[in-house]
């Protein structure tokens, strides 16, 4: 009698007890979900998620949270983003990139009449607080469904305009009809929509031919590692590149707490955060491990919004 095939053994779990954040340099082609699946297999831990989708045609920084660090996701997702992009003028596509159906193509004469001064002249209109409409092939949900799923099913749904913030928008190369752009923007900004709107403002249409994310808040692509390297040496990559939850949120104000106060905070009790401004803050213990993410009121009361560690504090102390 033939024995049933053996199930593949689960990879060793390389994720620290308190979780970690790994910065992945996403390659061209896979979806963000594909990247998460590959990270999950490589590190041997199913509790993995990313903090901001990159399209298959986009590359660059994908922030991946592992284990207990998945609790950081709302705080990292809310960070501003930075990109470098290549805009090709003269052709507008439905998706705003090279994969989309052509909607409008400029005449050769209209494209020839376009000058570098024209391009530089419209950029200020797209800085600051602007309104834009997400493209049909986006991850925005309408009626509980992703727009890209509705688009694939042939359903036409128009999402209302939304306000976003573009803090920095500069042309770094002008080689018409191509323009290289640097963009820093708020959460929820679609660079593909920006390409569409810039092309329309110039009267010739436009779409992206390349997009690379370089920063998420203070986290930079220079800190990232490739998927191939992670898959080849998960233990080595986790040791060299993984950030602790506290390190991933190091730009937030800190409340240092002793062990007694750490236990009290983990029990959900309100702490005093004298000297800290109202907003998000971190509670760190004597070992600089993250105890909790706090919401500090104007009165200086700090309430726990996410707790970390729990009974793991002693285990973490042994590992230190």
Q: Which residues are catalytic, by number? A: 55
Phi, psi angle pair for 87, to nearest 5°: -105, 130
Sign of CA dihedral 270, 272, 278, 284: negative
For the chain, first and last CA: distance in Å? 52
In 3D space, the residue among 128, 111, 99 whose CA is nearest the CA of residue 199 turns out to be 111
* CB contact at 8 A, 264 and 280: no
> Per the structure block, which two tokens stand in for 90?
């003269």
The encoded tokens of residue 53 equal 């989708």
CA distance linking residue 94 with residue 302, whole number of Å: 47
């Amino acid at each position: 009698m033939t024995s049933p095939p053996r199930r593949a053994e689960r990879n060793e779990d390389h994720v620290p007890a308190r979780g970690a954040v790994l910065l992945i340099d996403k390659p061209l082609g896979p979806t963000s979900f594909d990247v998460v699946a590959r990270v999950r297999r490589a590190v041997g831990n199913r509790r993995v998620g990313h903090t901001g989708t990159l399209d298959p045609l986009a590359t660059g920084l994908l922030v991946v949270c592992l284990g207990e660090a998945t609790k950081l996701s709302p705080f990292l997702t809310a960070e501003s983003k930075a990109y470098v992009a290549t805009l090709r003028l003269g052709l507008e596509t439905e998706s705003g990139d090279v994969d989309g159906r052509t909607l409008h193509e400029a005449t050769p004469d209209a494209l020839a009449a376009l000058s570098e001064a024209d391009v530089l002249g419209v950029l200020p209109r797209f800085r600051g607080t602007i309104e834009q409409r997400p493209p049909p092939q986006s991850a925005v949900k309408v009626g509980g469904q992703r727009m890209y799923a509705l688009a694939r099913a042939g359903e036409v749904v128009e999402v209302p305009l939304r306000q976003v913030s573009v803090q920095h928008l500069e042309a770094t190369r002008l080689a018409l009809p191509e323009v290289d752009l640097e963009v820093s923007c708020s959460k929820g900004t679609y660079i593909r929509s920006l390409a569409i709107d810039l092309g329309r403002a110039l009267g010739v249409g436009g779409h992206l031919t390349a997009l690379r994310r370089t920063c998420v808040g203070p986290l930079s692509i220079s800190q990232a590692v490739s998927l191939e390297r992670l898959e080849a040496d998960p233990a080595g990559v986790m040791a060299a590149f993984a950030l602790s939850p506290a390190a991933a949120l190091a730009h937030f104000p800190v409340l240092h707490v002793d062990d007694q106060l750490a236990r009290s905070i983990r029990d959900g009790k309100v702490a005093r955060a004298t000297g800290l401004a109202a907003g998000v803050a971190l509670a760190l213990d004597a070992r600089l491990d993250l105890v909790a993410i706090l919401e500090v009121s104007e009165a200086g009361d700090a309430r726990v919004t996410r707790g970390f560690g729990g009974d793991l504090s002693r285990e973490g102390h042994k590992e230190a």
